[in-house]
Amino acid sequence: MTTATLSAPDIRPARFDPLFLALSIGISAVLIALVLLDGQPASAALILGGFGLGAAFLKAEFSYTASWRRFLNKGEAGGLLGGFIVIAIAALLIVPVAAMGGRYGGAIAPIGPSLLIGAFAFGLGMQLANGCGSGTLYTAGGGSGRMLVTLAFFVIGSVFGSLSLPAFLRLGGIDPVLASSYFGPWGGLLVTLASLAVASAIIVSIAKKRGANFTPNRTYIVGGLIIGALCAFVFLAGGHPWSVTFGYTVWGAKIATFLGFDLSHAEFWNWDGPKLALKQSVLSDTSSLTDFGMLLGAMAAAAATKPFARTAWPPFGSLVAAAVGGLICGWGARIGFGCNIGAFIGGVASGSLHGWIWFVMALAGSFIGIRLRPLFGLSRD
Amino acid sequence: MRKTYIAVTLVALVVIVTSHLMSPSSGRAVSPEDFAGACAPCGAPCPSAKK
């Protein structure tokens, strides 16, 4: 008589995805090695900072787009206030250090029609795209095929934005308004923190009037603290607040040039910064470095916990919304001097008035964008 | 979708490495804000500079 041992088939879901975990870590190592071979430890730090941001955003599910939508639809303010935690933490370092000069500087921008129109367009587009600058990066990196579409069109839109920005600047405007220019490094910081307190009070009062929750959940508080600290780290490594969308513009312009388009006569690409960025390696551009890090960090974080990119492609209407939203976001980010990260977080954390103006206009754009979502088969919520 | 991701990731890696090896580099990574007269993260000039 023989005996056999029967074991039940292992039906436990895979705990991680070794292929994509290895890809994300391996590619990060290659990029870091390339910049270290050039003797650029600060560039390696920017890739690592981006990697941390990608992982933190993904694990905290830190979504500006969804939290703004919850606020506008239902009055729920927890997510919005979680975003303010990021700014407050980053401002503690950025406002005083940027005001003291040297190689550090804040995120500033002129105030005029370009800022107003661009921010409004960006807010509208991000509700169709279902992601802002950082949201697109971490969800695309995290395995959402839909957001790969958004990212591709974001890049295209930002190149169109670069071509039209000079015309919008000619509509007029005033120079940047910085709190530290009027109140000094520490006074500027106090004014910046006070502005966050006032904005928080307004948002909480709106939430209370609508009978909605206004307390950030634990994930948003912890995520906000970590992301704020990483913003400060990126500032120290790069010399300027974290920005996302200029990298997209450079990628798009390099691809356009490769395809035979001549950008040498475009005014934007003759300004010193963009001109050099177009000529140099993408690994010499600070925003590209953090962007690559963020994509790979989100991929690593997603692959470390579950099989990567196993979901099906979304319906066609959703993909069209991703494309249209990405295109508008890209254009709006260039016209409005950045996205939630470069213009809002970076701007307010630098004590620059344009950050708050960007926020108000982008919130107004989101209000319209939410109402357009059903046209593409997306829910308003 | 996994195949798409593998293809996109590997193509991106090849393009980045090739671009890096074939392009000049001036040293440390820069932002357009590093340049004199830049008034925005993209390097746009200040309105007052045009007057």
Alpha-carbon separation of residue A57 from A86, A136, A282, A368, B43 (angstroms) = 12, 11, 23, 26, 28
Whole-structure pTM value: 0.93
Helix pair angle (A78-99, A179-209), 10° resolution: 170
Smallest Cα distance from B15 to chain A, Å: 10
Q: Do A34 and B20 touch (CB under 8 A)?
A: yes
Q: Does B47 touch chain A (CB under 8 A)?
A: yes
Q: Count of CB contacts below 8 A, A vs B? A: 169
Lowest-pLDDT range, A52-66, A199-213, B25-39?
B25-39
Beta bridge partners of B30: A285
Res A6 pLDDT > 70: no
Ramachandran area for residue A338 (φ above 0: left; ψ -120 to 50: alpha; else beta): left
Residues within 8 A of A (CB atoms), B 1-20 only: 1-2, 4-6, 8-9, 13, 16-17, 19-20
**pLDDT given at position A297:** 97
Which phi and psi (to 5°) does residue A178 adopt? -110, 130
**pLDDT given at position B27:** 75
Alpha-carbon separation of residue A286 from A12, A125, A237, B31, B36 (angstroms) = 42, 25, 9, 6, 17
Q: Do A38 and B30 touch (CB under 8 A)?
A: no
Contact A251, A155 (CB under 8 A): yes
**pLDDT given at position A4:** 46
- Choose among B8, B29, B42: nearest Cβ to A284: B29
Taking 3-state DSSP, the helix, strand and coil percentages for chain A, each rounded to the nearest 5, stand at 70, 0, 25
Q: Do B29 and A249 touch (CB under 8 A)?
A: no
What is the Cα–Cα distance from A220 to A122, expressed in whole angstroms?
23
- Choose among A112, A243, A276: nearest Cβ to B41: A243
**pLDDT given at position B49:** 83
Smallest Cα distance from A203 to chain B, Å: 28
Res A61 pLDDT > 60: yes
**pLDDT given at position A7:** 53
What is the Cα–Cα distance from A257 to A263, expressed in whole angstroms?
7
In whole numbers, what is the pLDDT of chain A averaged over residues? 94
pLDDT band for position A131 (cuts 50, 70, 90): very high
Residues of B with Cβ-Cβ distance to A175 under 8 angstroms: 39, 46-48
pLDDT in tens, A316-327: 999 999 999 999
Q: Do B32 and A337 touch (CB under 8 A)?
A: no
Report the percentage of chain A scoring pLDDT > 90.
Answer: 90
- Choose among B4, B40, B50: nearest Cβ to A109: B40
What is the Cα–Cα distance from A262 to A256, expressed in whole angstroms?
8
Write a three-state SS string for chain B: CHHHHHHHHHHHHHHHHHHHHHCCCCCCCECHHHCCCECCCCCCECHHHHC
Q: Do A282 and B13 touch (CB under 8 A)?
A: no
Contact A194, A186 (CB under 8 A): no
Q: CB neighbours of B10 closer than 8 A, spacing ≥ 6?
A: none
Q: Do A276 and B26 touch (CB under 8 A)?
A: yes
Res A8 pLDDT > 80: no
Q: Write b or e for each residue in A44-78: b if 16 or more Cβ atoms lie within 10 A of its Cβ, otherwise e.
A: bbbbbbbbbbbbbbbbbebbbbbbbbbbbeebbbb
Which chain B residue has the Cα nearest residue A46? B29
Res A206 pLDDT > 60: yes
Q: Do B16 and A112 touch (CB under 8 A)?
A: no
Mean pLDDT value across residues A26-33: 97
Contact A226, A91 (CB under 8 A): no
Q: CB neighbours of A156 closer than 8 A, spacing ≥ 6?
A: A252, A326, A327, A330
Measured at the CA of B21, the angle between CA B19 and CA B26, to 5 degrees, comes to 95
What is the Cα–Cα distance from A188 to A92, expressed in whole angstroms?
10
Residues of B with Cβ-Cβ distance to A268 under 8 angstroms: 42, 44
Around A307, how many Cα atoms within 13 Å sit in the side-chain half-sphere?
A: 7
Centroid of chain to Cα A200 = 21
Which chain A residue has the Cα nearest residue B13? A27
DSSP character string of A278-324: HHS-GGGBHHHHHHHHHHHHHHHHHHTTS-TT-SPPPPHHHHHHHHH
Mean pLDDT value across residues A213-228: 93
Residues of A with Cβ-Cβ distance to B7 under 8 angstroms: none
What is the Cα–Cα distance from A185 to A191, expressed in whole angstroms?
10
Question: Choosing among A20, A40, A276, which should be mutated to test the B contact, i.e. which has the most B CBs within 10 A?
Answer: A276
pLDDT in tens, A164-187: 999 999 999 999 999 999 999 999
What is the Cα–Cα distance from A79 to A283, expressed in whole angstroms?
33
Res A2 pLDDT > 90: no
Q: Write b or e for each residue in A182-205: b if 16 or more Cβ atoms lie within 10 A of its Cβ, otherwise e.
A: ebebebbbebbbebbeebbeebbe
**pLDDT given at position A245:** 96
pLDDT band for position B34 (cuts 50, 70, 90): confident
Residues of A with Cβ-Cβ distance to B44 under 8 angstroms: 109-110, 165, 169, 268, 271, 337
- Choose among A42, A246, A309: nearest Cβ to B28: A42
pLDDT band for position A13 (cuts 50, 70, 90): low
What is the Cα–Cα distance from A238 to A13, expressed in whole angstroms?
41
**pLDDT given at position A152:** 97
